[in-house]
Amino acid sequence: MKPTVFPHDTYQTFVLEQLQEHYGRSIIHLSQDWPLILKCWQADLSGITGQLMEQYADQGPEPRDPASMLRSYLVFLFTNPGIGITQWINEMKRTPIYAILSGFSPDDIPGVGTFYEFIERLWPEATKNLKPKKQKPKKNKKKGQKGKKGQKANYKPGKVERFARWSERHMDIVKPLPGDPLFQFFEQNILKVSADLGLIGDPDALSVAGDGTPVVTQAYRRSKPTCDCRANGIYGCHHHRIYSQPDCDGGWDSSREKYFNGYHLYMLAAADSPHDLPLYPRLHPASRHDAVSLVASAVEFNQRYTLGSVNRMLLDAAHDAEAIYELLDKQGTEPFIDLNNRSKKNIETNSDIQISPEGIPICPNGREMKPNGFDKSQNRRKWRCTPSCGCSDATYGRTYHTKSSDNLRLFPKTPRDSQAWKDIYKRRTSSERTNKREKNDYQLEAGRHRSTMMWYMRIYGIMICQHIDAWYESQKDDWNQLKTTICPAAA
């Protein structure tokens, strides 16, 4: 049968009664549990029940409250992210307060299958992975082949440009993704609250920082053959194999300086957030480059973000491709990308002026021209060589103008040497801090999952926890006053 939508105050009443019944006045001394109690007390998750209403049959036994199932999963991530769901159920049986904060009576805790059935209702696809398990044999890295410290994954020249051009042509086509129900709940019930509290900056003119991070899921790639070639003494055949994690492959982890099997998680974060809050996650194969991942993530987020618009995109030098500038500009987003000086050659122009790899005009005498203001009427920047340079007979000296329309990569709308650029770009590292919290504080890689569905559930669960943490930190004094409501004896 359909679940009942319980208002959040119904949950609060339940928690109050259960805590007083099981702990009485001793709840005053549970000082280390008060932050968790207050986070669960304030976080309204009842919206998940209405969203999943159509996923339940009209007849049959009464289901578990979806809000309680999700809340229990969050309490699990808050307290014991290094264990699995089976161990979490045992933990709730040993520690009644965890069951109570989830919304369950300590004598009536759901089983493992109930948790997985709830998660499957948030995944609209019949299969739990994006790709079929039966695939052609994947290539292994050659023995002794190593990457370099800080080096990103390699990609074929022109791949970013081709993918960006294709994305531009199909920008208006919204392709449904299996993670859409998770993002829908996250945006309307979590992200919107953070926006109302002013924790992500201006939602109508959002500044977004993007960065990728490796997610290790297994030590070795696991697969089974579909043929009997090996039994017949034939090795190295090219028949299809059955992969346990078909969406994963091998990639280079520049921070750990080793190859790994797993995903490449590309995260978009709120750059203006004082708490480095996440906005949109996307799991890619481990071998995918940051620039390729950004193209897919930027288009998908722009199509799905309904609280406002993205005003700026802050990216590191790995994203320094002209096609990315043009893609973001077409979306109405101003790119802030550090230059990756892959070439030391100057760029020729239609005149005797050349452009350096840093976007600075070079006069015929080989000297860098100096900035000389901005012409708002013509929307162009002015450069000048003084008469002492000798490159021109003009009394004022040689002048040259550059416009963003000529080359958006070299001549961005906000000049790279301006103070405005520096003030904005220094917030780019917010995406790195977001990834750090997910991987270190919430032990993202501890999830021993075999399906992309479970990895997305874990990532979104951690993202929700990050936002609830920010709610608590930003309103700690007000929230702590709620102790007298939950436990009058604490006054």
What are the pLDDT digits (tens) for 15-26?
988 988 887 766
Report which DSSP code applies to 445: G
| Averaged pLDDT, 140-148 | 52
Phi, psi of 278, rounded to the nearest 5 degrees: -75, 155
Provide the pLDDT for residue 405: 80
| Averaged pLDDT, 27-56 | 87
Over 70: is that where the pLDDT of 342 sits?
Answer: no
Count CA atoms within 13 Å of residue 425 on its CB side. Answer: 19
In the numeric block, the tokens 């309307």 are attached to: 188
| Averaged pLDDT, 444-463 | 95
Residue 323: partners with Cβ closer than 8 Å, 6 or more residues away: 160, 161, 164, 165
| 3-state class (DSSP) for residue 58 | coil
| Averaged pLDDT, 73-83 | 96
Provide the pLDDT for residue 144: 45
Residue 418: partners with Cβ closer than 8 Å, 6 or more residues away: none
379 pLDDT tier (thresholds 50, 70, 90): confident
Provide the pLDDT for residue 296: 95
Over 60: is that where the pLDDT of 340 sits?
Answer: yes
Over 90: is that where the pLDDT of 395 sits?
Answer: no
Q: DSSP readout, 83-142? A: S-HHHHHHHHHH-HHHHHHHT--TT----HHHHHHHHHHT--SSSSSSS-SEEPPPPPPP
Angle (deg, nearest 10), helices 452-474 and 66-79: 80
Provide the pLDDT for residue 436: 95
167 pLDDT tier (thresholds 50, 70, 90): very high
Sequence spans of domains, the chain: 8-121, 134-335+426-460, 347-414
Going by C-alpha positions, the residue among 389, 447, 369, 381 that lies closest to residue 408 is 381
Share of the chain above pLDDT 90, in %: 61
Angstrom distance (rounded) from CA 390 to CA 398: 9
143 pLDDT tier (thresholds 50, 70, 90): very low
Give the dihedral of Cα atoms 191, 193, 195, 198; nearest 10 deg: -140
Over 90: is that where the pLDDT of 33 sits?
Answer: no
For the chain, what is the mean pLDDT?
89
* CA distances for 274 relative to 199, 201, 427, 433, 461, angstroms: 7, 9, 10, 11, 20
